[in-house]
Chains A and B, each alone.
Chain A
Amino acid sequence: MTASRAEALPLGSSDAELRAVSAQRQLNLNLAELRAIINYFSKIGALRDQLGLPAGPSVCEVEIFAQTWSEHCKHKEFNAIIDMKLGAGHGARAWRVDSLFKTYVVRATEIVRDKYQTAGKDWVITAFSDNAGVARYSDRQHLVLKVETHNAPSAIAPQTGATTGVLGCQRDALGTGKGGARLIAGCDVLCFAPPQPGVALLPGQLDPEVVARGVVAGIASAGNLTGVPTVAGAVVYDRRYAAKPLVHCGTVALLPAEYPNGPAWQKQVLPGDRVMVVGGPTGRDGVHGATFSSATLQTGQTDSVVPPGDPAMQRRLIDVMERACQRGLVRGCTDNGAGGLASSVGELALLSGGARIDIQQVPTKDGEVDAWQLLLSESQERMTLAVAPEHVAAVLALASQHQVTAADIGAFDDSGVFAVRAGEQLLAHLDLQFLHFGVPRKHLQAQWLPPILREPDLGPLDLSQTLLQLLASANIASREGVIRRYDHEVQGGSVLKPLMGDAGLAPQDAAVLRPDLDSWQGLAISHGICPKYGDIDPYEMAAGAFDEAVRALVSVGAQLPSLEAPTPWVGCDNFCVPDSVYHPEHNSDGKKKLGQLVRMAEALFDQSVHFDIPMISGKDSMKNDFRAGPARLSVPPTLLVTLVAQLPDVRKVVSSEWKGAGDLIYVIGATYDELGGSELYALFGKLGARVPKVRYKQARAGYTRHNTAHSKGLLQSSHDASDGGLAVCLAESCIGGGLGAEIRLPTAGLSNLAWLFSESHSRLVVSVRPSDAAAFEEVLGTYAVLLGSVTFGPKLRILRGDEAIVDVEVAAMTRSWSMGGLL
């Protein structure tokens, strides 16, 4: 092959020309970004000529910029400069945020780490710098945590999109540090629109039920076929998720502390190391995935941008990675996700200071593929490895044994350049620093004005019937139809499964795992997500999501971290919001949406610092909208908080169901008249005004006392009160244990509705043996209220004075709860 000059891509110079090129090639680059690229090339004319490259960018180079600078890869909005205004009139506040990510997420983690570092007790190893966060687990192993989102692909190709989401997040964990972490758990939180009979779909929009069923099938396939147990998750319904479903895919892994070639958490790419691609062959699939998922979905987008997933190939890739890394053959690696090789090689090249690859060495799956397509292809199940030259043969042999393709495609160097050839022909030659750090920052406007709302009057209600209706409602009903399709027990480590008890009916607050079968050490995984409160107050919504995740882990028996007892807890945050960039015509409420995001980030900061729980990884997804002509749908701003806490002995955890008749029932934490955004109001199509607020000091005090009672062995059951309030919480403990309860609510104070259905945060319902009651009350003091006792009689009776305001058979509650699930 003779070396011809790479094809140039003229960008033009006028705004109109630039916009046209960006649209035509689906670059999703804005004018400032395109001008920065033009400016870069204008200064290096002599070098370009010397290299035999066109003066302006080549096709390949423009595509590399588009992927590397996509919102998906560079998080330009989460890192933007934001002018924020809160409120109006006298009490208004205005301030400038220099990057939401640095100000609220990274800073919180730094504060927590500093506090513990000073005491020599920091448990974080890497946060936000690798594909997943890493924290201390034991002398021999580190914990790895990552939660990704795969919303846009799942919207147009639900099953494939969800499968590749799970597999992609697995590879993030697999590609952390030197690589090869043992994947021990998956956790998937899904947000769907409920089926809406009679509501017409927009052109190009999939039926919500088709989306939901496809996504669940895709997750089941990915987790089950790779042998990674899907142990935790949630399904959240809101009709606005018809814009895009939110598909959060989480992976928890354990990384050995040491490999033969050094600490496993540390990537070390040296000039001279070979660039290897291992996994499935590369095809045309998924070209432009990063730019596509950084944009609003529109009518007419097809599923061709979503690459197919092959979980069986991924399993073999996992086998190869575990073996290669344990033998010390790999110095660093990263997965090929968004942006394909252009991103993965480019990122690893930052560690050595440069890289050059020959795209013709990449194994392909279907004949003729353009070089730039090979470079950007998002064909799944591929890892990019940095391998010392003497180990290349061993990696190739290992891959071949496991029926996985592998190739040596180039070398890392310290040239400061990322260079791509196709055989003799140079296609791209880009300055690494400019490629990764040259993207112009955005400057955005945000504003949040608290809405003016009122409490609804629901009129007189039959509270027993209301409880049954709530148990059967979309957000509360049993998730058994989803749970049993996931293998949640493979690897043998499940201790608290999603459904416990002889009848398999007891839903649990958190998943508890024992990853090493020769040890009782383990960990608990929980999620917090409550987008429904965000319409009233996005700050309280996000604070509530955090508190919900903390509450769930406290409930099963995880001890909150403190300087005296620094139990390692770590978290991962996932922000999914609609397009929040203000535009007078296309996005007139953009300032409000960004204002909501700022408030959410503030709450995350406050909670993280308050509870001493550092975030170690996270992800933001910014364009969760669907547009069809003038019609536009947007998801509600959503924060998912995923927490993992370590447990010294998994045999000590507490489950949610009643254990024995006669046990006394208490509620820890105060109940307020906070029905705003509640499931009760949602049942009647109302929103309300008084949203549950997190009262940090009270919350922590209650949790600490729960921790003490638990460590003294005083708790027979513990269940967190969240959706549906106290009544639903009590009902679930009855259903799970097959036992009833007789409850006497205090006569003074709150209304019946508030007592039963208010969703005030930081509350846990526990049961205690009568013989332990005195000891329990001594620990809890005023933080617990005695509610009643567990009964053999299979009924939930809730009395106020002499009146039974709720009186339902456990069998009836079980029926409603079991039949209500939409999947």
Chain B
Amino acid sequence: MTRVAVLCGLGLHCHTEALAAYREVGAAAELVEATALIAGTLALTSYDLVHFSGGFSFGDVGGAGQQLAEQLRSGPGWPVLRAWLEQGGRAVGVCNGMQILTAAGLLPNLAGTYTPEVALEANVGGLFVDRWVRCTWQPPGTPLHYLELPVRHAEGRVVPFTPEIALQIEALGLPTLRYVDHLDEPSEAPPHNPAGSPMAVAGLLSANGRVLGLMPHPEAAMSPFQHPAWPQRQRWGDLPEFGDGATVLRWLVGPFVEEGKDV
């Protein structure tokens, strides 16, 4: 059974639904204080996956995820986390979690030096947006899926620091989740891509394949009754058994961590 540590505290507040989502797909998940990860007191070896929950850590003052990333990098837990990741550990960050992972240099970590390489900048509209989006989901070795998930963020535009970084991200196929429009074509503009993220990037895998960041919230799309069109679907007998987020969660607790166990 995949063992998942779901981080909470310090302004991460999507932990309740994340915990329920992991349990729904059969993982042994538990809540863990983010402060314990920072302090290095979290027994990481007891887990296969650490989930950086969404939220607004430290109110996003000074940039989304920046303060928590700074505490993480400067705390005793930083070398512990890196060593654990290098020994096969896996990390996923959703929304603020992705913002923290990129700000901490864990994602995409192309150079392998744990230095930040992409920024999550303000949405093109400049405002927080809560909206359901359609995305393509294709992590390595997985068939293409179309998923409908909610986004809820103000700083979700994935901007590589240099054109070279952008090219490398594309060349390595790291954008595992992309926004698409109503014709299922990649979209770089609202409303289909609420952040206005270039290359339609909604989620990124790290170069070493151990860290995943997603701006949309799969943990809030586990039940068909979370989808905004469930009443119509129910009327027409189209109500699926699970929400599209389950596809992501199953991959996280399955292929993603399985690969880590071989290292």
Is B84 interfacial (CB 8 A cutoff)? no
CB distance from B28 to the nearest CB of A (A): 16
Q: Which residues of A contact B150 (CB under 8 A)?
A: 489
Which of B8, B127, B223 is the one whose CB lies under 8 Å from A485?
A: B127
- Is A312 in contact with B59, judged by CB distance below 8 angstroms? yes
Q: Give the residues from 203 to 251 in chain A that come closer than 8 angstroms, CB to CB, to chain B.
A: 220, 224-227
A660→B236 CA distance, assembly (Å): 9
- Is A489 in contact with B56, judged by CB distance below 8 angstroms? no
Q: Which residues of A contact B10 (CB under 8 A)?
A: 316, 319, 402-403
- Is B20 in contact with A502, judged by CB distance below 8 angstroms? no
Is A654 interfacial (CB 8 A cutoff)? yes
Given A224-B56, A486-B130, A492-B20: A319 and B9 interface contact (C-beta under 8 Å): yes
Known A225-B56, A312-B60, A489-B220; 10 more pairs at CB < 8 Å: A312-B59, A312-B61, A401-B33, A486-B130, A492-B20, A492-B220, A495-B226, A504-B131, A659-B231, A737-B232
Is B201 interfacial (CB 8 A cutoff)? no
Is A484 interfacial (CB 8 A cutoff)? yes
Which of B11, B16, B35, B129 is the one whose CB lies under 8 Å from A315?
A: B11
Q: Give the residues from 4 to 40 in chain B that come closer than 8 angstroms, CB to CB, to chain A.
A: 8-11, 13-14, 16-17, 20-21, 33, 35
Q: Which residues of B contact A402 (CB under 8 A)?
A: 9-10, 35
Q: Which residues of A contact B219 (CB under 8 A)?
A: 492
- Is B222 in contact with A492, judged by CB distance below 8 angstroms? yes
A555→B255 CA distance, assembly (Å): 45
Q: Which residues of B contact A670 (CB under 8 A)?
A: none
Closest to B222 in A: A492
Closest to B224 in A: A651
CB distance from A278 to the nearest CB of B (A): 15
- Is B13 in contact with A502, judged by CB distance below 8 angstroms? no
Is A730 interfacial (CB 8 A cutoff)? no
- Is A514 in contact with B17, judged by CB distance below 8 angstroms? no
- Number of residues in B with C-beta < 8 Å to the partner? 43
CB distance from B107 to the nearest CB of A (A): 22
Q: Give the residues from 578 to 609 in chain A that come closer than 8 angstroms, CB to CB, to chain B.
A: none
CB distance from B246 to the nearest CB of A (A): 13
CB distance from B220 to the nearest CB of A (A): 5
Which of A227, A484, A485 is the one whose CB lies under 8 Å from B55?
A: A227
Secondary structure type dominating chain B contacts: mixed
Q: Which residues of A contact B236 (CB under 8 A)?
A: 659-660
A497→B226 CA distance, assembly (Å): 9
Q: Which residues of B contact A77 (CB under 8 A)?
A: none
Is B146 interfacial (CB 8 A cutoff)? no
Q: Which residues of B contact A492 (CB under 8 A)?
A: 14, 16-17, 20-21, 219-220, 222, 226
Q: Give the residues from 647 to 683 in chain A that come closer than 8 angstroms, CB to CB, to chain B.
A: 650-651, 654-655, 657, 659-660
Given A492-B20, A657-B231: A227 and B225 interface contact (C-beta under 8 Å): no
Q: Give the residues from 481 to 504 in chain A that come closer than 8 angstroms, CB to CB, to chain B.
A: 483-495, 497, 499-502, 504
- Is A651 in contact with B56, judged by CB distance below 8 angstroms? no
Which of B9, B55, B152, B229 is the one whose CB lies under 8 Å from A489?
A: B152
- Is B13 in contact with A490, judged by CB distance below 8 angstroms? yes
A605→B150 CA distance, assembly (Å): 42
A502→B20 CA distance, assembly (Å): 25
- Is A487 in contact with B9, judged by CB distance below 8 angstroms? no
Is B78 interfacial (CB 8 A cutoff)? no
Q: Which residues of B contact A717 (CB under 8 A)?
A: 231
A401→B127 CA distance, assembly (Å): 32
Is B128 interfacial (CB 8 A cutoff)? yes
Given A227-B13, A501-B229, A650-B225: A484 and B129 interface contact (C-beta under 8 Å): yes
Q: Which residues of B contact A485 (CB under 8 A)?
A: 127-130
Which of B17, B229, B230 is the one whose CB lies under 8 Å from A491?
A: B17
- Is B226 in contact with A502, judged by CB distance below 8 angstroms? no
Q: Which residues of A contact B16 (CB under 8 A)?
A: 491-492, 517
Given A225-B59, A311-B59, A402-B35: A716 and B235 interface contact (C-beta under 8 Å): yes
- Is A401 in contact with B35, judged by CB distance below 8 angstroms? yes
- Number of residues in A with C-beta < 8 Å to the partner? 47
- Is B11 in contact with A316, judged by CB distance below 8 angstroms? yes
- Is A502 in contact with B59, judged by CB distance below 8 angstroms? no
Closest to B235 in A: A659
CB distance from A279 to the nearest CB of B (A): 15
Sampled A-B contacts (21; CB under 8 Å): A227-B14, A312-B11, A312-B56, A315-B55, A315-B56, A484-B130, A484-B131, A485-B127, A485-B128, A488-B130, A489-B226, A490-B54, A492-B21, A494-B226, A504-B228, A514-B225, A517-B16, A517-B17, A517-B20, A655-B231, A657-B231
Interface string of B45-70 (1 = CB under 8 A from A): 00000000011111111000000000
- Is A312 in contact with B17, judged by CB distance below 8 angstroms? no
- Is B59 in contact with A504, judged by CB distance below 8 angstroms? no
Q: Give the residues from 126 to 166 in chain B that come closer than 8 angstroms, CB to CB, to chain A.
A: 127-132, 150, 152, 154
Closest 7 CB pairs of A and B: A227-B13, A312-B59, A492-B17, A517-B20, A655-B231, A659-B235, A225-B56
Is A518 interfacial (CB 8 A cutoff)? yes
A483→B131 CA distance, assembly (Å): 10
Closest to B150 in A: A489
- Is A495 in contact with B17, judged by CB distance below 8 angstroms? no
- Is A499 in contact with B228, judged by CB distance below 8 angstroms? yes
Q: Which residues of B contact A502 (CB under 8 A)?
A: 228-229, 232
Q: Which residues of B contact A657 (CB under 8 A)?
A: 231-232
- Is B220 in contact with A487, judged by CB distance below 8 angstroms? no
A500→B150 CA distance, assembly (Å): 13
CB distance from B168 to the nearest CB of A (A): 33
Q: Which residues of B contact A172 (CB under 8 A)?
A: none
CB distance from A483 to the nearest CB of B (A): 8
Q: Give the residues from 596 to 655 in chain A that come closer than 8 angstroms, CB to CB, to chain B.
A: 650-651, 654-655
Q: Which residues of A contact B128 (CB under 8 A)?
A: 220, 224, 485, 487
Interface string of B216-255 (1 = CB under 8 A from A): 0101101101101111100110000000000000000000
